[in-house]
Amino acid sequence: MKEVSVTIGSRSARITPTQRWVIWHVTDECNLECSYCYGSFSGSSYKAAFDETKLLASEVAIRVLSDVEALGFDYVHINGGEPLLHSAIESVLKATLDLDRLRVWLLTNGTVRRQLVERIARGDFNIDRLCFSIDTFDAALGDVVRESTHAVVSMIEFASRVRKVSTRLGAYVVLSTVTIGDFSDTARRLVDLGFDYINLQPVFLPPGHADEHLALGRGDAARIQECYSELESMGVQTSNPDMRALADNTLGGNHGVAVNCFADIGDYLYVSPSGLVYGCPSKPGNVRLAWGSLESRSLADIVARHTNSSETRCDFLCGDCLGMYEMALGPAGTVQTNV
């Protein structure tokens, strides 16, 4: 995999990825309307805009994991919307039992299909990590920005009780102006429940968004770094320190530049709910930039047609991109930064 050169504001870095990921949004259906969700950036929401007729056909969706493994990818991250609402999700999860080396992560909001969550936690499927999205354990705070805080807390505690050792637990903790002050308690409770991976998601909302007051900006960078330090002191796996320093520069919606982004050469893919395949996860709203559709072509054919071996430059590097690089670093990847 190529080394990626990144510049954001006054910081630059050279990133050496070692793992190949596919991010698969299996559905844009969701039962919640979280104030900060990127599904609301267009002025609507996943819950309001969902159209079942635009989903990838179930018989095609069931084959996605085996096709990804055949191309030599290391990980698939399944999310949504709320992935457990997909009509074929059980068949997709059963398909993990036929995988030899591909590792599967699943991210849920933890408010639906308790029996299926129990089966995942007990190891009925080949899921490497079961992840939950959460703001806080305090419903009085959480319900300001997310519906059903009590429900996700209950599900997290339930999954912790029933899980077998083979199922690892992870959390994506959303940091907003409302909940960041409660982070210490959230982290401690997650660790006590057996979570060994916690990813922090600082809220960004575009200017003019109805809930823009929830977004964190450059003035919150020091407190965010304190949150990471707390996780490190607890021995929790979290974001790479050098990547965090870069991410500080994207707070408030700032963009940077990347040279030789590995999404351009097929080492990272984003698959949309409708089956459109993209190299870059930050441009899925533009259908014209899609590499192809799984409804009409195989994944192998789509990747083969769009592999780019020449040097590329992107001037729209954002926090999503840094999340992509973070995942691809793996334990052996390196980041060399310069101020």
- Identify the pLDDT of residue 27: 93
Cα→Cα distances 7→17, 36, 247, 304, Å: 16, 27, 11, 29
Question: What's the rounded Cα separation, in Å, for the pair 276 and 284?
Answer: 9
- Identify the pLDDT of residue 285: 54
The structure tokens listed for 116 are: 């299926």
In degrees, rounded to 5, the angle at the alpha carbon of residue 73 between the alpha carbons of residues 54 and 264 is 70
16-54: pLDDT as tens digits:
999 999 999 999 899 988 877 776 556 566 666 677 888
- Identify the pLDDT of residue 9: 80
Question: What's the rounded Cα separation, in Å, for the pair 238 and 201?
Answer: 11
Q: What is the DSSP string of 75-112?
A: EEEEESS-GGGSTTHHHHHHHGGG-SS-EEEEEE-SSS
- Identify the pLDDT of residue 282: 64
- Identify the pLDDT of residue 209: 79
Amino acid letter, residue 251: L
Q: What is the DSSP string of 251-287?
A: TTT--EEEES-GGGGTSEEEE-TT-EEES-TT-TT-G
Of 261, 300, 307, 297, the residue nearest 276 (C-alpha): 297
Divide the 339 residues of the chain into consecutive groups of 10 and give the mean pLDDT of each group. 84 90 93 77 64 90 97 96 95 97 97 98 97 96 88 97 93 94 97 96 82 87 92 91 78 80 87 91 62 95 81 78 86 80
The structure tokens listed for 48 are: 């309001």
Residue showing tokens 């990144």: 6
190-238: pLDDT as tens digits:
999 999 999 998 888 777 878 888 988 888 889 999 999 999 999 999 9
Query: Which pTM was predicted?
Result: 0.92
Q: What is the DSSP string of 194-254?
A: T--EEEEEE----TT-TTGGG---GGGHHHHHHHHHHHHHTT-B---HHHHHHHHTTTTT-
Structural domains in the chain?
A: 18-238+269-314 (3.20.20.70)
Task: Give the 3-state secondary structure of residue 14.
Answer: strand
